[in-house]
Structure 1
Amino acid sequence: MHADTPRLPSHVTSRVVYLITPITVCVGKRQGRSPVSPPISHGRVVLTARALYRCWLSCKNAFPSPDLKKEWANDVWNEACAKEAYPDLFRQDEEFVYSSLGFLNDIKVEIKHAVESLYGFDTSRAPDIISRNASRAQALLSNMTFIYQEPNIGGPPHYPYRHPIIQRVINLTWFEDKEDDGIVFHEYFAPIPFEVIALVLTVVECCIGEWSDGTWKESKFTEERYKSIYLSHVNTLLNLHSHGQHQQGGDLLAQIQYDLLREARYVSPPSTTDILF
């Protein structure tokens, strides 16, 4: 980097987002101006927009349709301009397009070892271990047993949506340090949205499936295979939430949302997380 190149704020550079096509920007009024090299103000807005788009994937819909992606691109850009106080920046809508699959695959790679550890998969090549891994993967994926705090393979599971992998993935992905999205854009994560929980469960389900043959074999996170699984998790959570609102004991899923947020803040410096509460 040249010595005279301005530094961008650290909070918008903490994670990678996958920008498929280059950006051409027109500075000033849209009509009567030619595209020029983007100034540093444009760079700040681009990076903030990327981070915001990542939040929308996490908290609204991990698999937006092409039309929704275009709508989001416009809304996210406007929000980023407002946050960075550069309201007069313009862009060409069709050139601000993201891929969500890269983001989701990155989460999967990041949590691979956590899944192995917390669900008891063993990398040994011994035949009995391979057989046990395969049986464990099958049992965990059956009836969503993997979501329970105590999967109790072979018996009834206990405490749904309380398995520690959920908290671990949330911490690693959105709250690991003060520059992560869950801290910088805390308004999207208070409390932890059902869509975030559904995304986590979908990625974890993919990771467990990589052990279905008894030895780990990578499985790419594809929309064709996992969009329906994600939507199923979202719908299940929303239905349980709606049902819980009418129960005498209260909405247990709402409590889980707040518990996940409360625990997530402890992995970040207190000076940055106090703003959440």
Structure 2
Amino acid sequence: MVLPKIKKNSDGSRHRMKVSDFDDVSKEILGTAACIFRCLIVSQAPFPENIAVKMQLAKAAWHEACQIKGINVKLTPSGVKMLLTRTSQVHGELKMKMCSLTASFFGFQLSNSNDVIRQNRDLAESLKDSSVFAFKDWKSKKGIYKTELLQLGINIMWFANRHDEGVIHHKYFNPMPVEVIALVLTTIECCINEWLQGLKEDIKFTSATYGTVYHGHFCSLQRFNERTAPYKLLDKIRVNLHDVARCI
């Protein structure tokens, strides 16, 4: 087993860890492990219940990265810390990408006009009612979990190009995990919430603020799957979300 070498300050003291602080071999493993960890988080535990869950996924990601690179490098506490930061990173990245998509998809407008502010507020409230934003046709409530926005979000986050995580590590997204679907729906809801006052405001997308919301969407998807089990509707949706994303 190779022990990673970590750079220190000139006086020998430690400082805040960055990827550049690791030696070349460890840096290469860390880069691959970070991508895998991001995939594991969104596909297995988007809002981990505790640190033990994140630690388990970090170790799994590091182990797989070592196998891919063909070298066994020990995972150090510093490496674990670097990997765990990817949880909030992936949340922030998804939220940022979904905000503009959600606004343009539903027609929210940036304006100080009282009429526009009222329209934004009414639209946000309508979309939030019974989570109709998850429908393909949210006005008539038809096509549950078939909204094009769900596909657009998955495409831009994980399948934007052939070097993206969903393509390189496609095994984590084929078929699309229920966890990923619930996560994107939760992000969409967060983006809609930012318009509830009529003027866009920034809302933090964290476990503390949206862990419960995610759990609600995940449970709703499970109930939908149980009620439509004979038709395997959710299975078909999951396969289609992946296949369409891979065809881009």
In the alignment, structure 1 residue 198 sits paired with structure 2 residue 182: yes
Determine the C-alpha separation between the residues in 2 that align with 1:96 and 1:186. Answer: 24
Superposition misfits of 4+ residues, deviation over 6 angstroms: none
Determine the C-alpha separation between the residues in 1 that align with 2:168 and 2:190. Answer: 28
RMSD value, Cα: 1.7
In the alignment, structure 1 residue 103 sits paired with structure 2 residue 90: yes
In the alignment, structure 1 residue 160 sits paired with structure 2 residue 144: yes
Determine the C-alpha separation between the residues in 1 that align with 2:152 and 2:90. Answer: 17
1:221-236 equivalence runs, <5 A: 221-236=205-220
2:135 alignment counterpart: 148
- SS of 1:205 mapped into structure 2: helix
Shift of 1:94: 6.3
1:20-99 equivalence runs, <5 A: 22=17, 38-64=22-48, 65-87=50-72, 89-93=73-77, 95-97=79-81, 98-99=84-85
Determine the C-alpha separation between the residues in 1 that align with 2:118 and 2:23. Answer: 58
Shift of 1:224: 1.3
Q: AA paired with 1:140?
A: L
1:233-256 deviation line (CA, Å, top 9, x unaligned): 1121122223322x3xx1111111
Determine the C-alpha separation between the residues in 2 that align with 1:145 and 1:241. Answer: 18
Determine the C-alpha separation between the residues in 1 that align with 2:175 and 2:189. Answer: 23
**Contact persistence 2:91–2:206 (CA under 8 A):** no
Q: AA paired with 2:147?
A: H
**Contact persistence 2:158–2:164 (CA under 8 A):** yes
**Contact persistence 2:185–2:217 (CA under 8 A):** yes
- SS of 2:74 mapped into structure 1: strand
TM-score (norm 1): 0.78
Shift of 1:93: 4.0
**Contact persistence 2:224–2:234 (CA under 8 A):** yes
Determine the C-alpha separation between the residues in 1 that align with 2:23 and 2:78. Answer: 20
Shift of 1:168: 0.6
State percent identity of aligned pairs. 28
**CA 1:43 to 1:251, structure 2 compared with 1: closer, same or farther past 3 Å?**
same
Indicate which of 108, 111, 118 corresponds to 1:131.
Answer: 118
1:13 alignment counterpart: none
Q: Tell me the number of residue pairs that the alignment of Structure 1 and Structure 2 aligns.
A: 228
Determine the C-alpha separation between the residues in 1 that align with 2:187 and 2:89. Answer: 12
Which 5+ residue runs of structure 1 have no aligned equivalent?
1-20, 25-36, 268-277
- SS of 2:196 mapped into structure 1: coil
Shift of 1:266: 2.2
| Structure with higher helix content | 2
**Contact persistence 2:120–2:198 (CA under 8 A):** yes
In the alignment, structure 1 residue 188 sits paired with structure 2 residue 209: no
- SS of 2:200 mapped into structure 1: coil
**CA 1:265 to 1:178, structure 2 compared with 1: closer, same or farther past 3 Å?**
same
